[in-house]
Amino acid sequence: MMKTGAILILGVLAGLLALQNVHGEDRPPDLPVVGRDDIQHTTLGWVEKGTTNLFTGVSVKYHQNGKVSGTMTIRNGEMDGPMVGFHENGQVAVHGLMKKNLKTGYWHYFFASGVLHKTRIYADTDWVYEARYDESGALIKIRDFRKNKEVEQSHPEATQKTAPSAVP
């Protein structure tokens, strides 16, 4: 129990601290933290298991090896705030921000090595840009989904839309 509790606290804190820096969002320190098995998704939204009480807090899910596989912030039954996913080796797999159950802003996806794999940018509920990187971190391509075409890498949008380095 002590080991699981320590893993939970460290995983959640690492994810939340990293996301606070990425998104500049301060989170209330008093949000309850629960395991994913303690809540369930219904037609009402995310609720405390066995009730109709809308959940507000941070939900944590684990890999079979006991490491944190993901955290999501829920407010009044809706995914609303930072989300972070982890590979089984503990490296960040994905992080981004949800607003009322929709992805918003920059979402960064990482290889298990910790190297950035792709960045997706969401605006007005649509996925508008995607930058892809190879396993060395070199930019492969950028796609503008509003125009349904690839952006030239020398184009200013290519350099403006690249992601920051991997979350520590």
- Amino acid code (one letter) for 34: V
Binned at pLDDT 50, 70 and 90, residue 152 comes out as low
The rounded percent of the chain whose pLDDT value lies above 90 is 54
Q: Which residue has the higher pLDDT, 64 or 149?
A: 64
- Identify the pLDDT of residue 29: 59
Question: Measured at the alpha carbon of residue 51, what is the angle toward residues 47 and 54, in degrees to the nearest 5?
Answer: 30
Residue 87 pLDDT exceeds 50: yes
The SS3 assignment for 90 reads coil
Q: Which residue has the higher pLDDT, 165 or 154?
A: 154
- Average pLDDT value over all residues in the chain: 77
Predicted TM-score of the model (pTM): 0.71
Cα separation of 103 and 100, whole Å? 9
- Identify the pLDDT of residue 161: 35
Residues comprising the chain, all counted = 168
Structural domain spans, the chain? 1-77, 101-168
* Mean pLDDT in residue range 117-133: 86
Residue 62 pLDDT exceeds 60: yes
* Mean pLDDT in residue range 136-159: 70
4-13, 82-91, 105-114, 118-127: least confident range: 4-13
Question: Do 158 and 142 form a contact (C-beta atoms < 8 A)?
Answer: yes
Task: Note the pLDDT tens digit of each residue in 65-86.
Answer: 999 999 999 999 999 999 999 9
Q: Which residue has the higher pLDDT, 106 or 24?
A: 106
CA distance from start to end of the chain: 26
Task: Note the pLDDT tens digit of each residue in 18-37.
Answer: 444 444 444 555 788 999 89
